Amino acid sequence: MNVEPRRVLSLIDHTNLRPEARKEDIARLCEEAKRYGFAAVCVNPYYVPLAARYLRTSRVKVCTVVGFPLGATLMEAKVYEARLALKHGANEIDMVISLPALKSGNYRYVLKEIRSIAGVCKRYKALLKVIIECGLLSEDEKRVAAELVVKAGADFVKTSTGFGPSGASVEDVRLLKSVVAGRARVKAAGGIRTLESALAMVEAGADRIGTSSGASIAEEVLRSH
């Protein structure tokens, strides 16, 4: 599959989840997202209202994280966190699954958690992306997690938080794409810093790219034309 480099820009979630990010950093993130035509900005919940104000007249969506980055908070806290974020202007939620529950084989809990947040997102007409943190999972666990994401009615399965032991890999994107088989989309995130790596992820089946290097990737695209 040959991917047109310019198409990659419309798939990027331009991300700044650094705990030390200042409002000036978020303003720049939003301006870059508008300039390059990215899909969304992804910010910590504290900055959702600010990003929503900056982007209110643009097509760029506001994405935020829930249960981030460990996935170990209680289900009820994640549901409340998602509801607050959507109320304050988020259009998309990237939640981390309950890794303790998944690792312990408590798949019913994982399913209920994702389904509960998916219900909140649907009421707000928002997208739900579910981070399974591939770097901590066996291949069988990745398959199980992806199936639970589909069964719970989420929109995307996402490879990584970017804070785990490893980021996105072409192999994981291919695996997740084969498991969801058109029933959900795939977001690759973590360690994607160049146009070449972004293109590799899209060619492997990624429908979104999460990266904090969106601006430099966009400049690579513009230089290549």
How confident is the model over 145-177, as pLDDT tens digits?
999 999 999 999 999 999 999 999 999 999 999
Q: Do residues 61 and 92 lie in contact, with contact meaning Cβ atoms separated by under 8 Å?
A: yes
Please tell me the total count of domains within the chain. Answer: 1
Strand partners, 209: 12, 188
Which residue intervals of the chain are DSSP H helices? Answer: 5-9, 23-36, 48-55, 75-87, 99-103, 107-123, 139-151, 170-180, 195-204, 214-223
Catalytic residue among 61, 78, 177, 187: 187
What is the tens place of the pLDDT at every residue in 171-192?
999 999 999 999 999 999 999 9
The CA distance from 174 to 42, in Å, is: 24
Catalytic residue among 129, 158, 172, 207: 158
Spacing of C-alpha 224 from chain mean position: 27
Q: Which domain holds residue 145?
A: 5-223
Mean pLDDT, rounded, of the chain: 97
Is 187 known to be catalytic? yes
Q: Do residues 194 and 211 lie in contact, with contact meaning Cβ atoms separated by under 8 Å?
A: no
Catalytic residue among 13, 61, 78, 94: 94
**HSE-up of residue 173 (Cα within 13 Å, Cβ side):** 24
Q: What CATH number is associated with residue 199? A: 3.20.20.70
**Predicted model pTM:** 0.97
Is 207 known to be catalytic? no
- pLDDT tier for residue 114 given thresholds of 50, 70 and 90: very high
Is 142 known to be catalytic? no
DSSP output for 87-150: HTT-SEEEEEP-HHHHHTT-HHHHHHHHHHHHHHHHHTT-EEEEE--GGGS-HHHHHHHHHHHH
